[in-house]
Amino acid sequence: MRVRPTLSWTPTEDLPPGTTDPGPVADALRTGGVLVLSGAGISTESGIPDYRGEGGSLGRHTPMTYQEFTADPRARRRYWARSHLGWRTFGRARPNAGHLAVAAFGRHGLLSGVITQNVDSLHQAAGSEDVVELHGSLSRVVCLSCGASSPRGELARRLAKANADFEPVAAGINPDGDADLTDEQVGDFRVVPCTICGGILKPDVVFFGEAVPPQRVEHCRTLVRQAASLLVLGSSLTVMSGLRFVRQAARAGKPVLIVNRDPTRGDRHALTRVALPLGATLTTVAGRLDIPVDGRATGRVGR
């Protein structure tokens, strides 16, 4: 079953207002067994924009769909040119206070797991373990023909060698690591094939219009069943890939708590939505629980 691209969401009902009290989040974490579901909003403080928040990239950028990428060689050239340039910034991103707080909660045994909708691997760079990357990761590349997987850094070096004179200036970067370039800037950018079979290379991420692997979805559903509560961090929950877990938790009577400055598609299922910046809020919560957020991180996104 394909996931239809959902680029926007407008509330059709009165939603409960957000609060500035992070107390319920601290209470849930104090009890333990919290499953974290994070979205693009947790990475904005690392310099990676989100899709739908204030200044979100969807206002200027339509993400590549799976169907376009696989069917159109020109679309693949455009994608890889933009993604190659964007990776220079994206690959240097560092975890922020929000990622570090989540890692600290995990080290202190308060979490039952972390599911992220992000493709930036910043939770792992902050020290979180056993993170489920719902939409994959830009740090890996996969061949659509033979299935071989390889590090993104390896592809970046091959693309740089094949496009030695490619030095455009991008207007911005998007949550999927895609830099804003014109067709003229893309020019005759050279795309390189799989080194094993010569097939088409694709980032190991779930594009818009592509299905999340069923076994990954089922693993996440199991994590929801085993959790005491669900804590959503920085997601509008516009796309069903994340919203379904909120609905599952709510149906099971598990508390759902959301930290997101703007209203979300899951608000009516939530016990509370804390409408405050993520990094500061989670740092405050950690302080209430006497948990130090010491900046212990394993490094950058990946080479």
45 is in an annotated binding site: yes
136 is in an annotated binding site: no
235 is in an annotated binding site: yes
In angstroms, the CA 264 to CA 268 distance is: 9
Q: In what order do the strands lie in the sheet with 149-151?
A: 149-151, 136-143, 201-205
197 is in an annotated binding site: yes
State in Å, rounded, how far the first CA of the chain is from the last one.
33
43 is in an annotated binding site: yes
| Cβ atoms of residues 104 and 301 within 8 Å | no
108 is catalytic: no
User: For the chain, give me the number of helices (H) and strands (E)?
Assistant: 10, 9
- The DSSP-derived string for 68-128 is HHHH-HHHHHHHHHHHHHHHHHHTT----HHHHHHHHHHHTT-EEEEEE--SS-HHHHHT-
241 is in an annotated binding site: no
55 is in an annotated binding site: yes
Catalytic residue among 99, 123, 135, 269: 135
220 is in an annotated binding site: no
47 is in an annotated binding site: yes
> Which residues on neighbouring strands pair with residue 229, listed in sequence order?
34
253 is in an annotated binding site: no
50 is in an annotated binding site: yes
| Cβ atoms of residues 51 and 57 within 8 Å | yes
Amino acid identity of residue 40, one-letter, is A
User: Which residues are tagged catalytic?
Assistant: 135
List residues forming the annotated binding site. Answer: 39-59, 117-120, 143, 146, 194, 197, 234-236, 278
List residues forming the annotated binding site for Zn(2+). Answer: 143, 146, 194, 197
List residues forming the annotated binding site for NAD(+). Answer: 39-59, 117-120, 234-236, 278
